[in-house]
Structure 1
């Protein structure tokens, strides 16, 4: 089963943290969560999350624009936290030439939307993300 999820999917997906192997051995895998793939040139759109997210950048480089216009760049191998709530609106860009692959570990009940779309914060220039700026 392929656990990759696109940035456009709205619902939580996940898998087990340990994979049993014959003979009782276990092989460590990523903790239960969701994998998000953002293609080169892609943008998540402005959104926020209802719960805290812990994220690991597995491939590519993610550029995040936060609600206060702060820009954070996260290359492969780095981690970051996205706090919960409408006070933490943000978007993610893939400004590189390879897909950005993120693994995020939110705790959501089944069927709960993963992200809540929202208009851009006041004063953010349209050029930040012409595809999603409002």
Structure 2
């Protein structure tokens, strides 16, 4: 799938998520006040497709983690600061931006809200069937959480 088709798919999924509203609340995926709500979930061909809305309050973050599958995100509100395991920024995603998080333990990262308003993300998880949403990782030595 080329980048334009992928971006269109993520935008369509995010728009659907925004119109669909939130379903049941899930466990907190990060720091205090970070919430995640599952909007829809299905399994096709051995892969789980899970659409979630994640809210990160001002001053909070997702915690260090990685995923066993690829994630496609749309920033509905706010600005997400994204950092890799070298403690360097690997992206600044403002409202209306698309982002992709690759799979595997070599892609440990953290998302942080350094702004003053909540960050709201619509995220499509494409995971091997039965895989967790994320795998916790220790702080790789960065002076922030």
**SS in structure 2 at match of 1:50:** coil
TM value normalised by structure 2: 0.65
Name the residue aligned to 1:80.
99
CA distance in 2, matches of 1:100, 1:12: 14
Give RMSD over aligned pairs.
2.9
Name the residue aligned to 1:15.
40
Q: CA deviation at 1:112?
A: 3.6
Which of the two has greater helix per residue? 2
- Cα 1:97/1:106, change in 2 over 3 Å: same
Aligned residues: 112
TM value normalised by structure 1: 0.70
CA distance in 1, matches of 2:25, 2:75: 14
Which of the two has greater strand per residue? 2
Name the residue aligned to 1:55.
73
- Cα 1:66/1:5, change in 2 over 3 Å: farther
Spell out structure 1 runs of 4+ moving beyond 2 A: 1-7, 9-16, 107-112
Structure 1 unmatched ranges of 5 or more: 17-30, 130-134
Q: Is the 8 A contact 2:62 2:110 kept in 1?
A: yes
- Cα 1:4/1:35, change in 2 over 3 Å: farther
CA radius of gyration, larger in: 1
- Cα 1:112/1:32, change in 2 over 3 Å: closer
Name the residue aligned to 1:125.
142
Matched, 1:116 2:135: yes
Matched, 1:2 2:19: no
Per-residue CA deviation, residues 77-104 of structure 1 (Å, 9 max, x unaligned), is: 0011100010000001111111100111
- State which of 57, 71, 84 in structure 2 corresponds to 1:39: 57
